[in-house]
């Protein structure tokens, strides 16, 4: 593991829990201590819940070692990079790793949105570079996205998929585009929540609508758990890649500047006291210009994801609607009883979805709600995402 943040500690814990020895490397001793604390915290929670004995926790913790040097990396079968989501820093790490490892070592990035192709270019063996995107919290989220670069070898892809499955994860292989699959579909949902707040709809109401639909938490609450600073960075990257349809809600900039980073800072869209959450009085919303119904809130949240998923299928980010639905159920908690995002759209009727998006394009924002070409074609021909 290169990078000893929360994700680095979580991935190290996952590996050690599968009885795999793992070395965590960072340039900062405090960060290394943080990775060990994160792994110990996860194990201690299992002990508290009586799912593990203390001696088992201690044995598994001994499988994690930490250090400031790159000693032994040449002999590693796979190195997972989980440093800060900054392209320049990640390129520097991959350039260094490429110089000290041989052609048998896979170099995998845990990036959530940055280009694997560009990382591969700075290494002497680009065919062994791949994306391996874990979701947070690593020990609970069952999904992993595997993202080959254009030059990644079949052997590297197969070894990486087997590695992830050996960790008990469900794997989807997706194309190297900004945001990959899950985050690319998720960001419009989170962003639309921001636009609704800018129209005067409270975070509590938006979250209540989403949870009544079946989401495990609403988008404002999810932003607080992800970390608003992290979500802001990813949303900014995707806006740069996809333009106006992913234009970030200006409210996110304001919230970030106030250092309302979410649950980790005890202030986000909610104020946190231990496990208790209440509205954050520092979030000032404008007076609504018009009444917005719960039905409109739900359609704006969910249909914007359907539209983006349709674009992903058209661009061959994945060719299977089933991969989209598995990704959304296991990656963001889309309600399983609805059988997946695209299955839900089929059940609703693609003609109905396309018509509602068209109305929203006129009444709310044309760029964010213009009907995706694939969705428009299917709706016009009376077809569905899944062959009937």
Return d(Cα 193, Cα 218) in angstroms, integer. Answer: 9
Strand partners, 81: 2, 109
Name 62's Cβ contacts closer than 8 Å, sequence gap at least 6: none
Asked whether the beta carbons of 18 and 97 are under 8 A apart, the reply is no
Distance in angstroms (rounded) separating the CA atoms of residues 341 and 324: 8
**What does residue 7 show for φ and ψ, rounded to 5 degrees?**
-65, -40
Q: Are 80 and 24 in contact (CB under 8 A)?
A: no
Cα(229)–Cα(241) distance, integer angstroms = 19
Longest dimension (CA), the chain: 63
Contact 276/136 with Cβ under 8 angstroms? no
CA distance linking residue 343 with residue 321, whole number of Å: 8
133 is catalytic: yes
Rg (the chain; Cα; Å) = 21
3-state DSSP call for residue 139?
coil
β-partners of residue 106 are 78
Contact (Cβ atoms closer than 8 angstroms) between residue 197 and residue 343: no
**Angstrom distance (rounded) from CA 273 to CA 182:** 31
Distance CA 115, CA 113 (A): 7
In whole angstroms, give the CA distance from residue 73 to residue 314: 40
If you count them, how many residues does the chain have? 388
Tell me how far CA of residue 204 lies from CA of 14, 149, 248, in angstroms.
34, 41, 20
Which residues are identified as catalytic?
Answer: 133
């Amino acid at each position: 593991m290169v990078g000893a943040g929360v994700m680095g500690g979580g991935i190290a814990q996952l590996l050690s829990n599968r009885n795999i020895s793992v070395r965590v490397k960072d340039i900062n001793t405090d960060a290394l201590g943080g990775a060990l604390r994160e792994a110990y915290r996860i194990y201690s929670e299992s002990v508290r819940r009586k799912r593990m004995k203390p001696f088992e926790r201690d044995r598994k913790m001994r499988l994690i070692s930490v250090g400031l040097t790159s000693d032994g990396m040449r002999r590693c079968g796979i190195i997972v990079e989980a440093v800060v989501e900054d392209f320049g820093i990640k390129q520097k790490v991959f350039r260094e790793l490429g110089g000290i490892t041989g052609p048998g070592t896979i170099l995998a990035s845990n990036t959530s949105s940055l280009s694997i192709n560009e990382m591969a270019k700075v290494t002497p063996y680009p065919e062994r570079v791949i994306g391996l995107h874990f979701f947070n919290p690593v020990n609970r989220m069952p999904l992993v996205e595997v993202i080959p670069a254009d030059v990644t070898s079949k052997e590297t892809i197969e070894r990486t998929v087997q590695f992830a499955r050996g960790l008990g994860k469900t794997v989807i292989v997706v194309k190297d585009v900004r945001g990959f699959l899950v985050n690319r579909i998720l960001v419009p949902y989170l962003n639309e929540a921001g636009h609704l707040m800018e129209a005067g709809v409270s975070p509590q109401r938006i979250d209540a609508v989403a949870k009544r639909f079946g989401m495990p938490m609403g988008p404002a609450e999810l932003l607080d758990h992800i970390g608003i600073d992290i979500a802001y960075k990813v949303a900014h990257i995707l806006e740069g890649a996809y333009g106006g349809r992913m234009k970030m809600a200006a409210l996110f900039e304001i919230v970030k500047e106030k250092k309302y980073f979410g649950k980790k800072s005890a202030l986000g869209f909610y104020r946190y006291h231990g496990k208790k959450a209440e509205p954050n009085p520092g979030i000032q919303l404008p007076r609504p210009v018009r009444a917005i119904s719960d039905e409109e809130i739900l359609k704006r949240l969910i249909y914007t994801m359907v539209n983006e998923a349709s674009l992903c299928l058209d661009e061959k980010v994945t060719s299977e609607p089933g991969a989209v639905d598995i990704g959304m159920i296991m990656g963001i908690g889309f309600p399983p009883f609805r059988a997946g995002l695209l299955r839900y759209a089929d059940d609703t009727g693609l003609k109905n979805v396309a018509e509602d998006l068209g109305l929203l394009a006129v009444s709310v924002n044309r760029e964010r709600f213009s009907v995706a070409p694939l969705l428009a074609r299917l709706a016009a021909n009376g077809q569905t995402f899944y062959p009937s």
